[in-house]
A and B are shown apart, each in its own frame.
Chain A
Amino acid sequence: MPLATRESAPHIVLSGDLDLAVASELRDAGAAVAKAVAPGRLEMDLSDVTFIDSSGLGALVAVHNYAKELGSTLVLLRAGPIVARFFELAGVRDYFNIE
């Protein structure tokens, strides 16, 4: 999973399928960045995400929680229709900070 970061406000671009295969990696990387920017804002760009299921969601939730604990804020950007629909199904749309 390519991860591009901008140093100013850490901006992670996610792409491809966020499923079981990449879930733990996503969680670990995200947690690391969250720790690095804390307290601060951490952005994840979802425009290139082609698939997400509960495994992927679990990872995002983990990062979100971890960031919060550290006083950081995880912000999800540009969620496409697939992701948006999934968030709806999972009932987590209001949980995340989505911009």
Chain B
Amino acid sequence: MGTGDSAEPAEVDMDRLFLSAGEVGARMLEVDWDATPLGAPATWPQSLRSVVHVVLSSKFSMWMAWGSQLTFFCNDKYRLDTLGAKYPWALGRPAAEVWAEIWDDIAPRINSVLRSGEATWDESLQLFLERNGYQEETYHTFSYSPLSGEDGTVAGMLCVVSEDTERVIGERRLDLLRRLGTALTRARTEEEVIKATRRELASQPTVLPFALLYAFDQGAGRLAFAVGADTGESIAPQSAQLQDGLWPLGDLVSHESLLVDDLQSRFAEVPKGAWGEPVSSALLMSIGTTGSTSPYGVLVAGLNRFRPFDEGYRGFLELVANQISSSMSNARAYDAERQRAQDLAALDRAKTAFFTNVSHEFRTPLTLILGPVADALNDRTDPLSASQRVRLDTVYQSSERLLKLVNTLLEFSRLEAGKAEAQTQITDLGTETKVIAEMFRSAIERAGLRFEVYCSPSNVAVRVDPEMWAKIVSNLLSNALKFTFEGGITVRLVRDGDFVELSVKDSGIGIRAEDQVHMFERFHRVEGARSRSFEGSGIGLALVAELIALHDGSITAESAPGAGTTFAVRLAAAPDDGINAAPETRVGAGIVSGYVAEAMRWLGPDGELVQETSGKAPVPGGEDLPTVLVADDNPDMRRYIQSLLEERYNVVTVADGEAALDSVRSMTPDIVISDVMMPKLDGFGLLEAIRGDRATASTPVILLSARAGEESAVEGLDAGADDYLVKPFSAVELLARVRSNLELEQARRAAARREHEIAIELQQALAPVPSPNALHLEVATFYQPGESGTEVGGDWYETIDLGRSRTALVIGDVMGKGISAAATMGQLRSIVRAYAGLDMPPAELLEAVDARLRELGGDQIATCVYAVVDAPARSVEYANAGHLPPLVVRDGIADRLVGSLGPPLGAGPVLLESSQVTLESGATVVLYTDGLVETRAGDTDARIDRAARLASVWDGDVDGLPEALVSDLCPGGAADDVAILVARFRTPRPASSFEIVLGSDKAGAATARRFASEVAARWSPPPAIDDLTLLVSEMATNAILHARPPVTLRLTHLDDEVLIEISDGSASGPTRKHPRPYDEHGRGLQIMAVVARRWGVITEGNGKTVWATLSTR
């Protein structure tokens, strides 16, 4: 570029322009302009240059075409927004090539511009561009305007364009969402949701070519609606499998959404929606139900194939799905609620219908009761006797109450059926209310409560049905009295503008908030509320509410527990056009008196619900009469039973289970009669408490119940009642039951006393006798009766001398306690002894004993161990019938003798085998019964081990071992009897034996003494000589005086003892006497027993040996 004063206009330097035009400019530089009709940029006419300059430097999206081929130019904005993948190819190409796909659309417009020189204008024109390799739905707003060449003719066209695609599509989506949202807010039920959704989803077929909703129904998908497709078409089956179906519905249980993009290969026919081409993909979305883990179903949304499935598209569809989800949840909840309400209403209707039917059935017989009874009570020509009058009074009152209840229920059902109408008249409500209220005064004041009635002067005119009004006021007052125990009740009727308000306020127990919600519902009773009467079906307040509603009035309650309750009834006041001259109060009076009479009955003679005692003067000898405690919450029932019983018994009455329990504990009545349904503690609870306390457990209890049927009686008896009476019962029946139960109880007590006495005697008679010692066995025994009761148990033990240095050890336990067990034990001992005398082996002996035991009958079972210690054989042979294993301690090691364990005796034929173990000198056998080792903790085995351990380390005399075992194992005493037999085996050392034959003269004693001294002197350690000589002297003296010669004295040195034996030829042994001090004779054995450590007599054939031992320690 020169700076010469050229007359040519400044030319645009194309190169520089291109260079400064950013990316596009750079590309334009690269275009082969010579191949185009325009030629090189340097040859371009000024007009073209200017236009290109304008286009390239504009930030607004533009393209232009120039020349015969309409060569294409565009700027950076255009290439970014619109050109897409065609850039940079499009630069310098003929426009018809560049936009071939829409040339049909735009050519006419361009041609018109070129021809007419007039610009075109299109707004949001739909054009299907293929700028990104696929057909894309786009919207553009653009203007084609003419470009003039050098000669002023139209040489080209300019397009200024802005793309509206996002906006257009966005608007459509938003529209659908808005319509859907709006429609769904109005949809309540599931059906409505589906209908609304179907309608709205169809509104934008370009955005949503088709949509299907499948609901999960019993393991399959059920088509709820199809939009843009026909139900039953291949793409929209009515019912679809969840798994392996054409739609993968099952996968949506665990995924939020799923894209299926091969629709044309999946399905035979695919809808096209608003387009000409079938849809190729669909998005499946889970339609959930909030608060539930299982989804409602699946929404299948066909996708517009001409739009990319970008985040915006996905977001939109998710919004749709969410809206449907939340609506569906609400609909489901609503449906459930509605169903519930329907169910409740049906239940209500059923109850009322039931009552109605029953009520009608009741009225007839009731009328037939009330009529004749009233006649009888009022009969003057043939009047009733006093006692009959009392009875019929009770009948009349109870029947009246029953009738009232029936009538209330009937009224309800009439209201329900819409048949009741209020027969209203203008009434002076002030006076009317006052009259009604005053009828309650005596009852309220008798209950010790204040009563205030404030009814405005007679200018409160209201249109009411007087009968209904009477019921309303009576019900409210009746309730107030029922639930108020101190303070007072206030009734107020005031005018409040156009309304009249009745308030009944009490200082009673109040109503909890939870109960207030249900207060006016039928059949609602407050559980556990303290009140004067627990009768009532819970219908009163509901009736009041309905009656008030009939008058277009309202009732509210204000209450808090402990703070009293105020009921407020509001009615519209009647226009002041005069009150009925004579308000009919008499119609209401009959109704009111019924309520009052009932209230009176709740109150005892002094107005308090006290423990009613027999009103009669004490009957002479009355203290001896049995005391009957009557518990029932119905005062009439209490009075009735009392009147039946008070001639023969002391009757005490209480009104609830707790009071009954207190009375049982404090005065121990002889018999209790109790209702089952009572407040605070019901009949069964009372029974449980009585039976659970040892002091009262044996009290006879008769339960009264209104529930008939065998099951209730069995239930009552199972629970421990002695008898069960169903109401109504006759006087005769009640009296008979009371008498028989009392007599039974008395007989039981007498029998128990007698048995107790017999048992004590028997126990003493059967107490185990200390056993004689056997030479080769040191025996120690122990018996301790169990602590549980003084019933004698069945434990016994025995040692039996079998001769020839053999001793039988027996221990046994008869199961059970009391007389029969003790008697069986005695019999068993005899049987065992008898068989022992025959010297039977242990197993055979026990088998024989078993047979005899079974023959005795009486189903007695006994366990027994029979063990024979054979000294010469140094063994013990034993058999065990069901008893605990004996222990044997040898060399400091304790073992259980577990051989030969068989079943107990008496249970069936017993087959046993004997077992045998060897004994060394010093071996100890321990027999014991279960009282030693069995406890509730069930650790018998461990305890046996413990006993064994103790025995194994015992190194003292056997005498102390049983007690040591008991104090270790049962330190606090044992519940059961404990019997222990311990035997220690001893063998002599024959080598240390010395013998002498004594003469039968009196000098023999001295001879014996001398001999003994000499022998003893040789032993070491030596025994106590004085004791030895004394002992020997006594034994020798005895033998000389009483025995048959020859008399042999033998002295043997054992391990720790000296054994003195005197044998003679007579079989009759010395019997130990108990000489008194003044007795001259008979002392010998006494001395012997005192001095000797052990002593005994062994009989053999035709002779005997008297033996004694002395300790050498």
Interface residues of A, Cβ cutoff 8 Å to B: 17, 19-21, 51, 53-55, 57-59, 61-62, 65, 82, 85-86, 89-92, 94-95
Q: Can you list 17 residue pairs at the A/B interface with Cβ under 8 Å? A: A17-B1009, A19-B1005, A19-B1009, A19-B1033, A19-B1037, A53-B1005, A53-B1037, A53-B1084, A54-B1087, A55-B1084, A57-B1083, A61-B1078, A82-B1026, A85-B1026, A89-B1030, A92-B1077, A95-B1077
Contact B1090 A89 (CB under 8 A): yes
Contact B1009 A20 (CB under 8 A): no
Contact B1083 A58 (CB under 8 A): yes
Beyond A20-B1005, A20-B1041, A90-B1086, whether A53 also contacts B1079 by CB under 8 A is: no
Contact B1030 A20 (CB under 8 A): no
Contact of B1002 among A21, A53, A57 (CB under 8 A): A21
Contact A51 B1033 (CB under 8 A): yes
CB of B797 to closest CB in A, whole Å: 30
CB of B959 to closest CB in A, whole Å: 19
CB of A13 to closest CB in B, whole Å: 20
Contact A54 B1079 (CB under 8 A): no
CB of B850 to closest CB in A, whole Å: 47
Mask of B1020-1047 contacts with A, CB within 8 angstroms, 1/0: 0000001001100110010011000000
Q: A65 to B1091: give the CA distance in the assembly, Å.
A: 26
CB of B139 to closest CB in A, whole Å: 138
Beyond A89-B1091, A90-B1087, whether A54 also contacts B1037 by CB under 8 A is: yes
Identify the closest chain A residue to B1036 (Cβ).
A20
Residues of chain B within 8 A (CB-CB) of A86 are 1030
CB of A67 to closest CB in B, whole Å: 12
CB of A31 to closest CB in B, whole Å: 12
Identify the closest chain A residue to B1083 (Cβ).
A54
Contact of A51 among B1004, B1009, B1084 (CB under 8 A): B1009
Q: Is B989 an interface residue (CB 8 A)?
A: no
Residues of chain A within 8 A (CB-CB) of B1083 are 54, 57-58, 90
Q: A96 to B1077: give the CA distance in the assembly, Å.
A: 9
Q: A51 to B1033: give the CA distance in the assembly, Å.
A: 10
Contact B1080 A20 (CB under 8 A): no
Contact B1079 A89 (CB under 8 A): no
Within 8 A of A (CB), among B983-1028: 1002-1006, 1009, 1026
Top 10 A-B pairs, shortest CB-CB distance: A54-B1083, A95-B1077, A20-B1005, A53-B1033, A58-B1080, A21-B1002, A20-B1002, A20-B1037, A19-B1005, A54-B1084
Q: A90 to B1078: give the CA distance in the assembly, Å.
A: 11
Q: A61 to B1029: give the CA distance in the assembly, Å.
A: 22
Identify the closest chain B residue to A54 (Cβ).
B1083
Residues of chain A within 8 A (CB-CB) of B936 are none
Q: A89 to B1085: give the CA distance in the assembly, Å.
A: 12
Identify the closest chain A residue to B1079 (Cβ).
A61
Specify the main secondary structure of chain A where it touches its partner.
helix
Residues of chain B within 8 A (CB-CB) of A57 are 1083
Interface residues of B, Cβ cutoff 8 Å to A: 1002-1006, 1009, 1026, 1029-1030, 1033-1034, 1037, 1040-1041, 1077-1081, 1083-1084, 1086-1087, 1090-1091
Contact A51 B1077 (CB under 8 A): no
User: Given A85-B1026, A89-B1030, 16 other A-B contacts at CB below 8 A?
Assistant: A19-B1005, A19-B1006, A19-B1037, A20-B1002, A20-B1033, A51-B1030, A51-B1033, A53-B1030, A53-B1033, A53-B1087, A57-B1083, A58-B1080, A58-B1083, A61-B1078, A91-B1077, A92-B1077
B1004, B1009, B1077: which has the most chain A beta carbons within 10 Å? B1077
Identify the closest chain B residue to A22 (Cβ).
B1002
Q: A94 to B1079: give the CA distance in the assembly, Å.
A: 14
Residues of chain B within 8 A (CB-CB) of A51 are 1009, 1029-1030, 1033
Q: A51 to B1086: give the CA distance in the assembly, Å.
A: 18
Residues of chain A within 8 A (CB-CB) of B1086 are 54, 90
Residues of chain B within 8 A (CB-CB) of A65 are 1078, 1080
Beyond A51-B1029, A51-B1033, A61-B1079, whether A89 also contacts B1009 by CB under 8 A is: no
Identify the closest chain A residue to B1001 (Cβ).
A21
Identify the closest chain B residue to A96 (Cβ).
B1077
Residues of chain A within 8 A (CB-CB) of B1030 are 51, 53, 86, 89
Contact B1087 A89 (CB under 8 A): yes
Q: A30 to B1040: give the CA distance in the assembly, Å.
A: 24
Q: A90 to B1009: give the CA distance in the assembly, Å.
A: 19
A21, A57, A85: which has the most chain B beta carbons within 10 Å? A21
CB of B1013 to closest CB in A, whole Å: 11
Residues of chain B within 8 A (CB-CB) of A90 are 1083, 1086-1087
Contact of B1034 among A54, A85, A92 (CB under 8 A): A54
Contact A21 B1006 (CB under 8 A): yes
CB of A60 to closest CB in B, whole Å: 9
CB of B146 to closest CB in A, whole Å: 161
Residues of chain B within 8 A (CB-CB) of A89 are 1030, 1087, 1090-1091
Residues of chain B within 8 A (CB-CB) of A85 are 1026
Residues of chain B within 8 A (CB-CB) of A19 are 1005-1006, 1009, 1033, 1037
Q: A85 to B1079: give the CA distance in the assembly, Å.
A: 19
Contact A55 B1037 (CB under 8 A): yes
Residues of chain A within 8 A (CB-CB) of B1084 are 53-55
Q: A21 to B1030: give the CA distance in the assembly, Å.
A: 14
Beyond A51-B1009, A89-B1091, whether A58 also contacts B1033 by CB under 8 A is: no
Q: A53 to B1008: give the CA distance in the assembly, Å.
A: 13
Q: A20 to B1037: give the CA distance in the assembly, Å.
A: 7
Identify the closest chain B residue to A53 (Cβ).
B1033
Q: A51 to B1041: give the CA distance in the assembly, Å.
A: 19
Q: A45 to B1083: give the CA distance in the assembly, Å.
A: 23
Residues of chain B within 8 A (CB-CB) of A62 are 1080
Q: A59 to B1002: give the CA distance in the assembly, Å.
A: 15
Contact of B1003 among A21, A59, A92 (CB under 8 A): A21
CB of B1026 to closest CB in A, whole Å: 7
Identify the closest chain B residue to A58 (Cβ).
B1080
Q: A55 to B1086: give the CA distance in the assembly, Å.
A: 12
Residues of chain A within 8 A (CB-CB) of B1003 are 21
Beyond A62-B1080, A86-B1030, A95-B1078, whether A55 also contacts B1005 by CB under 8 A is: yes
Contact of A17 among B1006, B1041, B1081 (CB under 8 A): B1006
Residues of chain A within 8 A (CB-CB) of B1006 are 17, 19, 21
Residues of chain A within 8 A (CB-CB) of B1090 are 89
CB of A32 to closest CB in B, whole Å: 17
Q: A17 to B1003: give the CA distance in the assembly, Å.
A: 11
A20, A51, A59: which has the most chain B beta carbons within 10 Å? A20
Identify the closest chain A residue to B1091 (Cβ).
A89
Contact of A20 among B1040, B1078, B1079, B1091 (CB under 8 A): B1040
Q: A63 to B1040: give the CA distance in the assembly, Å.
A: 23
Q: A3 to B1004: give the CA distance in the assembly, Å.
A: 23
Q: A19 to B1004: give the CA distance in the assembly, Å.
A: 10
Residues of chain B within 8 A (CB-CB) of A91 are 1077
Q: A83 to B1009: give the CA distance in the assembly, Å.
A: 16
Residues of chain B within 8 A (CB-CB) of A55 are 1005, 1037, 1084
CB of B277 to closest CB in A, whole Å: 135
Q: A89 to B797: give the CA distance in the assembly, Å.
A: 31
Identify the closest chain B residue to A86 (Cβ).
B1030
Residues of chain B within 8 A (CB-CB) of A92 are 1077
Identify the closest chain A residue to B1029 (Cβ).
A51
Residues of chain B within 8 A (CB-CB) of A17 are 1006, 1009
Q: A62 to B1030: give the CA distance in the assembly, Å.
A: 21
Q: A86 to B1033: give the CA distance in the assembly, Å.
A: 13
Q: A94 to B1078: give the CA distance in the assembly, Å.
A: 11
CB of A79 to closest CB in B, whole Å: 15
Q: A59 to B1040: give the CA distance in the assembly, Å.
A: 17
Residues of chain B within 8 A (CB-CB) of A53 are 1005, 1030, 1033-1034, 1037, 1084, 1087
CB of B521 to closest CB in A, whole Å: 94
Residues of chain B within 8 A (CB-CB) of A94 are 1077
A53, A57, A62, A82: which has the most chain B beta carbons within 10 Å? A53
